[in-house]
Each structure stands twice: as C-alpha cells, then as structure tokens.
C-alpha cells in the first residue's frame, strides 16, 4: 500500500504500531492517516483520537478485516473520515482518499471565506452587514485615529459602550486604560467625586484620598455613559475639564492636568434638552465634536441573522445549534425595542430552555415574538436626485444574493437554490446570464 501510494505522488511514512504512529505524529503535521483497527498495542481508534486532537483537520481512513457496521460507526464517531473493509481494491482506497482530501480542501476554503466575511462585517467586536453598519464602520475607522471628543447617540441596547471600546482599541491610546462610568447609575452627590476624585476628609466618609475617573484614564480613554443625566453644576465642571484638560480633586486646591480622550454617550435628545434649558449649550458643542449615531436594530434587520449566529456561538460552546427558518422569520419581523441587548438576551434564553437540542424553533422564542406579523423588511436604497438604473440595480442585488448563497453552501447549487426558494435550473440559468455580463 505504501509503495502504491508513493507511486501516486504521496509522501508516505510507515509505522509498525500505534505507539510508533503517535511518535511520528508528534514530529510532523501529516495530512492523511491510514490505520488498521486492530493493532498490537493501542488500537486504531485511539490513534485517530490522538491524531485528531493534535491536527483537527487530518483525514483519517480506517482499513480493517473486522468490518462490521458497529466498528464503522465507532470509528466515524471518533473522527475517521471513511471506513474500508478488507479485502479491497487499491482503486477503492484511492477514491476514498481523493474524496476526503477534496472535502478537507472545501472545508478549509469555507472556513477562510467565513473568516473573510466576518472580518468584512465587523469592527472591533461590533457586527453588522447592513448599510448603516457599514457606514458606521467606515466612520469609526476614521475617528479612532484622532483625539477629538466623540458623542455616541442611540437607543438603549444598541451598544454604545461597545462602540466606545472599539474606538479606544483601534486608537493610538489602546495600550492605556479604557475607563467607563455610567453617570445615571451614580448618585448625584457622589458623581463629582467619582469623576474628579477627593482628598481625605473632604466630606463625611472620605477616609482616604482617592483618584477620580479622569486621573485613572490618563493617556487613555474616558467613557461617560448617560451624560445627559448630569446636574447643571456638574456640567459646568465637566466643561472646564474638557476645555482645559485640568481639574482639582474635591477638597484640594492643587490643579491636576490630564491627557484624556473623552467619549460621551446618551440615549436622550441633547439638542432638545439644550432648547429646553436642561443641558448646557456650550457643553453640548464641546461633547458633539464628532457625532456617532447607532441605528436601532429595527432599521437594520438584515444584521439579525449575523448577530443570532454570533450569540449562538457565544452561548453554545459545547455544541452547534442553528435556528429554523420559521424562528428566523419571527426574529426578523419583531420590532426590538431593546435592540441588540434584547436580541442577545432572547438567544440566551432560548438556548437555556432548549434542553440540549441542536435546533431553535419558534416555540423557543418569547410569546410576543411568536405572534409578531412576519414580513420581509424592504431594503434601504439610496435614491439619487438624478434617478437610478433600476434593471442594473436589481441585477446587482440578485447577483449578491446568489453569490452569498453559494458561499454559504460551499458551492452546492442544489442547496443554494433551496436557500433562494428557486429551482436549480433557474439558478443555473441565472448563473449563465451573470457570466455573460
């Protein structure tokens, strides 16, 4: 067998026992393992397990004279790619090897394509393939390199702190601290001390001198969440700290200078609050140097499948799960008042109640989502003043959907046609037409 494989162009190493095979596997990353089941020492399934643990992508083929169905099933469960029973023709082995190696190549290519897609559809841990999110990624990539103050706006649950962290970790300040504080979660009487620090004895309970968040974030980034909840007096002190990059701790006259990049966030309409006189206009303009708005999830529904996949991987590390078409349609139809945070909680709840199943269905969703009217959300289209070429635009959408369906199915046209709800012959005709364009 070794001689015949060598004649076919394979570089072959032989081992007289399972123990010797393991020694060779420690020395070299082999692409293919061919083993008998019954060996003098450890058996072939143990060799396969050890090989797969070291090289998850290795092609393992079992050849045995004890070719029962039970042996085959056991070997496949332990990671074998295929099973051949003695006696056999060499052409049969060659066919199994060619098929398994090609399958490994396709799997590797699919993994690469998925990684490329994931890289394309994310920025610093933020996921999205929709038009609003792609525009957001471009903006974040640009503003991350500056030191300007940023105001992040968006509804509750859209991921404002995630955006702030992404900006920090893609900025020149990434090696220093990212310090966050939720201004609405700290009592007003303590918020000033949290921001600027205090000295011992400055007020009742100040038993020691303490740094504030501004000092902690020196050379790094300070994230002020829910900045619209600050009192007018504290707004004035924040404005001075932003303008002068200096402040005094409570109870101290010593001025402390800091180098801090400030990112503020709010789900309130600060412009309206300025008009109503509840938020300082000068502070608003100081914070709103670079505005960054995060669209609500209901306005970017085509991000939902990508987010669901991400959350499933997060909450099901031990097993692979998928969502039925019916459940995905229900998720796409829901209006998501709690945005991405609500979607994450929904997936976590469904996984927790799945009782070990590998499929999430409509019944696993909360009642309000099960009853949501299902509809296909219309895509967002930029319609220029001069108009657009509608046939060309529709053709580009069709091409994109076909390419994505083929990527998802590893080039399998039958499965791609099923995903697109069209006949295979129709898909083939469309592909021919696309090739001619």
Does 209 share its domain with 348? no
Q: Which residue has the tokens 């000092």?
A: 215
Does 132 share its domain with 231? yes
340 has pLDDT over 90:
yes
Q: What CA–CA distance (Å, rounded) separates 63 from 85? A: 6
Q: What is the model's pLDDT at position 236?
A: 94
Q: Which domain holds residue 313?
A: 298-370
Does 67 share its domain with 80? yes
Does 84 share its domain with 201? no
Q: What is the model's pLDDT at position 64?
A: 76
Q: What CA–CA distance (Å, rounded) separates 70 from 37? A: 12
Supply angle C-alpha 43, 46, 48, rounded to 5: 110
Average pLDDT on 222-228 reads 95
Does 243 share its domain with 138? yes
| Domain finish residue from 295, 311, 328 | 295
Q: What is the model's pLDDT at position 38?
A: 79
Q: What is the model's pLDDT at position 80?
A: 82
Q: What CA–CA distance (Å, rounded) separates 167 from 178? A: 10
Residue 128: closest CA among 169, 88, 159 = 159
End-to-end alpha carbon distance in the chain: 49
295 has pLDDT over 60:
yes
Q: Is residue 276 part of a domain?
A: yes
Average pLDDT on 25-30 reads 80
Q: What CA–CA distance (Å, rounded) separates 76 from 81? A: 6
| Domain finish residue from 370, 400, 416 | 370
Distances in Å between the Cα of 293 and the Cα atoms of 137, 151, 290, 382 are 11, 8, 10, 18
The pair phi, psi for residue 192, each rounded to 5°, is -60, -45
Q: Is residue 399 part of a domain?
A: yes
More confident residue, 22 or 274: 274
Residue 223 banded pLDDT, cuts 50, 70, 90: very high
Does 240 share its domain with 130? yes
In this structure, what token pair is assigned to residue 93? 């082995």
Residue 327: closest CA among 304, 310, 293, 344 = 304
Q: Is residue 382 part of a domain?
A: no
CB 162 within 8 A of CB 125: yes
Does 354 share its domain with 241? no
Residue 118 banded pLDDT, cuts 50, 70, 90: very low
Does 81 share its domain with 196? no
Does this model's pTM top 0.85? My answer is no
Helical ranges in 279-423 per DSSP H: 281-287, 304-315, 325-333, 339-352, 367-370, 390-408, 413-420
Q: What CA–CA distance (Å, rounded) separates 28 from 40? A: 23
Task: Output the average pLDDT for the chain.
Answer: 85
Q: Is residue 380 part of a domain?
A: no
Q: What CA–CA distance (Å, rounded) separates 63 from 232? A: 79
| Domain finish residue from 85, 118, 151 | 118
For 14-34, b/e burial (b = at least 16 CB within 10 A) is ebeebeebbeebeeeebebbb
Does 175 share its domain with 316? no
Residue 294 banded pLDDT, cuts 50, 70, 90: very high
Give the lowest-confidence range in 184-198, 292-306, 399-413. Answer: 399-413
Q: What is the model's pLDDT at position 383?
A: 62
Count of CB atoms situated within 10 Å of the CB of 193: 20
Query: Per the structure, how many domains does the chain have?
Result: 4
For 57, which DSSP code?
T
317 has pLDDT over 50:
yes
Average pLDDT on 43-71 reads 78
Q: Is residue 348 part of a domain?
A: yes
Q: What CA–CA distance (Å, rounded) separates 7 from 290? A: 66
Q: Which residue spans within 215-328 are E strands per DSSP?
A: 221-225, 246-248, 255-257, 261-266, 290-293, 322-323
Q: Is residue 63 part of a domain?
A: yes
Q: What is the model's pLDDT at position 98?
A: 86
Residue 384 banded pLDDT, cuts 50, 70, 90: low
CATH at residue 57: 3.40.50.2300
The alpha carbons of the chain give a radius of gyration, in whole angstroms, of 30
Distances in Å between the Cα of 10 and the Cα atoms of 4, 17, 218 are 9, 21, 60
CATH at residue 408: 1.10.10.60
SS (H, E, C) 65-127: CCCCHHHHHHHHHCCCCEEEECCCCHHHHHHHHHHHHHHHHHHHHHHHHHHHHHHHCEECCEE
Residue 117 banded pLDDT, cuts 50, 70, 90: very low
Q: What is the model's pLDDT at position 119?
A: 46
437 has pLDDT over 80:
no
Does 283 share its domain with 139? yes
CATH at residue 332: 1.10.8.60
Q: Is residue 91 part of a domain?
A: yes
373 has pLDDT over 70:
no
Average pLDDT on 244-267 reads 93
Average pLDDT on 373-395 reads 65
Give the lowest-confidence range in 46-55, 84-93, 313-322, 382-391. Answer: 382-391
Q: pLDDT over 70 for what percent of the chain?
A: 89
CATH at residue 281: 3.40.50.300
Does 226 share its domain with 258? yes
Q: pLDDT over 90 for what percent of the chain?
A: 38
Q: What CA–CA distance (Å, rounded) separates 110 from 59? A: 17
Average pLDDT on 71-76 reads 71
Q: Is residue 288 part of a domain?
A: yes
Does 279 share its domain with 312? no
């Amino acid at each position: 067998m070794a001689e015949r494989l060598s004649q076919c162009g394979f570089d072959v190493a032989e081992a007289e026992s399972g123990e010797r095979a393991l020694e060779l596997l420690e020395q070299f990353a082999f692409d293919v393992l061919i083993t008998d089941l019954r060996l003098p020492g450890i058996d072939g399934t143990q060799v396969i397990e050890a090989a797969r643990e070291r090289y998850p992508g290795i092609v393992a083929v079992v050849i045995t004279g004890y070719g029962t169905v039970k042996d085959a099933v056991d070997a496949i469960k332990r990671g074998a790619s295929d099973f051949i029973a003695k006696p056999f023709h060499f052409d049969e082995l060659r066919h199994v090897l060619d098929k398994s190696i090609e399958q490994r190549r396709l799997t590797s290519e699919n993994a690469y394509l998925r990684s490329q897609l994931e890289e394309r559809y994310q920025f610093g841990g933020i996921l999205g393939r929709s038009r609003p999110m792609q525009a957001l990624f471009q903006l974040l990539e640009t503003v991350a390199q500056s030191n300007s103050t940023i105001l992040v706006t968006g509804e509750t649950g859209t991921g404002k702190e995630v955006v702030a962290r992404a900006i920090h970790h893609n900025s020149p300040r990434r090696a220093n601290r990212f310090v966050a504080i939720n201004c609405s979660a700290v009592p007003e009487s303590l918020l000033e001390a949290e921001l600027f620090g205090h000295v011992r004895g400055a007020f009742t309970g100040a038993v020691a001198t303490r740094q504030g968040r501004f000092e902690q974030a020196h050379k790094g980034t300070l994230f002020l969440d829910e900045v619209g909840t600050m009192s007018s007096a504290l707004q004035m002190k924040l404005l001075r700290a932003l303008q002068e990059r200096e402040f005094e701790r409570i109870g101290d006259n010593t001025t402390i200078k800091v180098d801090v990049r400030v990112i503020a966030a709010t789900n309130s309409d600060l412009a309206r609050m300025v008009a109503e006189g509840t938020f300082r206009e000068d502070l608003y303009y100081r914070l709103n140097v670079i505005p960054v708005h995060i669209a609500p999830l209901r306005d970017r529904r085509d991000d939902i499948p990508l987010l669901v996949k991400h959350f499933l991987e997060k909450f099901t590390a031990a097993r692979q799960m998928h969502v039925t078409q019916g459940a995905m349609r229900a998720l796409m139809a829901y209006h998501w008042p709690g945005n991405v945070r609500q979607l994450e909680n929904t997936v976590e709840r469904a996984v927790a109640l799945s009782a070990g199943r590998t499929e999430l269905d409509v019944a696993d969703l909360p009642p309000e989502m099960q009853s949501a009217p299902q509809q296909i959300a219309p895509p967002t289209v930029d319609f220029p003043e001069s108009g657009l070429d509608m046939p060309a635009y529709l053709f580009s959408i069709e091409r994109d959907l076909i390419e994505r369906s083929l990527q998802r199915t590893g080039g399998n046209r039958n499965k791609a046609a099923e995903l697109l709800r069209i006949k295979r012959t129709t898909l083939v005709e469309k592909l021919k037409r696309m090739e001619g364009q």
